[in-house]
Amino acid sequence: DQQVKQNSPSLSVQEGRISILNCDYTNSMFDYFLWYKKYPAEGPTFLISISSIKDKNEDGRFTVFLNKSAKHLSLHIVPSQPGDSAVYFCAAHREGTYKYIFGTGTRLKVLA
């Protein structure tokens, strides 16, 4: 049972435009969410987080939106740059545990 889903395996965006990566979850006990960027054969790099008590968090070009009623979060990257080309993972923390559940990732390709 995949509790955290990234339904788009890949996404292509033109340089300078907005990239929107989506993540859906099923468990209402998730209370904290993380987004990571990962290059091949490297460890994930933390990008941005959001607590379930918020609906938006912003850090430079990266903004994460959380819609609790829809159990949906999204990562916006504006403007997109070729260096943003990577696989992006969302991860959800289950309240009262030490566990994060990771999505399967979305491969973003930013075209120059």
Partner 1 sequence: DGGITQSPKYLFRKEGQNVTLSCEQNLNHDAMYWYRQDPGQGLRLIYYSQIVNDFQKGDIAEGYSVSREKKESFPLTVTSAQKNPTAFYLCASSWRGGAETQYFGPGTRLLVL
Q: Which residues are at the interface with partner 1 (CB under 8 A)?
A: 4, 9, 31-32, 34, 36, 41-46, 49, 51, 89, 91, 93, 95, 97-105
Minimal distance in Å, beta carbon 10 to partner 1? 11
Closest CA to 63 of 46, 80, 49, 75: 75
Are 91 and 77 in contact by the 8 Å Cβ rule? The answer is no
For partner 1, the closer of residues 40 and 83 by Cβ is 40
Minimal distance in Å, beta carbon 20 to partner 1? 20
For partner 1, the closer of residues 52 and 79 by Cβ is 52
Minimal distance in Å, beta carbon 44 to partner 1? 5
The residue count for the chain: 112
Are 40 and 105 in contact by the 8 Å Cβ rule? The answer is no
Q: What is the distance between the terminal CA atoms of the chain, rounded to a whole angstrom? A: 38
